[in-house]
Amino acid sequence: MAKNLRNFPGQAVQDPSSIANLTYNEQSGAQKNAEVGRKLLALPDGASGHTTNATTSKKLPKKGANLAVYNNAGAVGSITLGTNTPTLTSQAPGAVLAGTDGQSVGIACPPNDWTYIACGDLDWVIASAATLLVYLIDDATSIKQEAAR
């Protein structure tokens, strides 16, 4: 069996096989891994558990959430995000909810396709139709705001 030797060729080397030696090495215990897909979670739905139906506004569990939305219809749908309001209303694709400084806009979701949305500091979501299946992408990162000093 061939022995894998650790080598550190330096920053300037751009040889692909040297890069491969550094990223996979039996002696160091490194293992190759590949992304097979995102871990999708249903939205929390209060006392009734979890759901992928966001036709009524749903509170996201944290700021900085990422959403995966599948439009299971043959027509364009939309997702609208907002902050601090359980009375968020669904907007048509490209339409802006009045009084939100352009933050709550109808995000177009193409028919029979996935749309991925980074919510930033917006923590409420509503869908224009039940054919939009809304999932949280499982992600341990979050947005925290430090108190002003």
- The stretch 129-139 carries a mean pLDDT of 93
Q: Is the pLDDT of residue 26 over 80?
A: no
pTM for this entry: 0.69
Q: Give the model's pLDDT for residue 103.
A: 80
Residue positions counted in the chain: 149
pLDDT tens across 82-119, in order?
A: 886 767 889 999 898 887 777 888 999 999 999 999 98
pLDDT tens across 31-62, in order?
A: 555 556 678 999 998 777 999 999 999 999 88
Q: How far apart are CA 15 and CA 33, in angstroms?
A: 21
Q: How far apart are CA 87 and CA 104, in angstroms?
A: 12
For the chain, which residues make up each domain, given as ranges? 40-137
Between 147 and 139, the more confident residue is: 139
Nearest to 134 by CA among 72, 64, 83: 72
Q: Is the pLDDT of residue 14 over 90?
A: no
Q: Give the model's pLDDT for residue 28.
A: 52
Six-digit token pair at 108? Answer: 């177009």
Which residues, other chains included, contact 114 with Cβ-Cβ below 8 Å and sequence gap of 6+?
Answer: 68, 69, 70
Phi, psi values for residue 46, rounded to 5°: 60, -135
Q: How far apart are CA 95 and CA 79, in angstroms?
A: 11
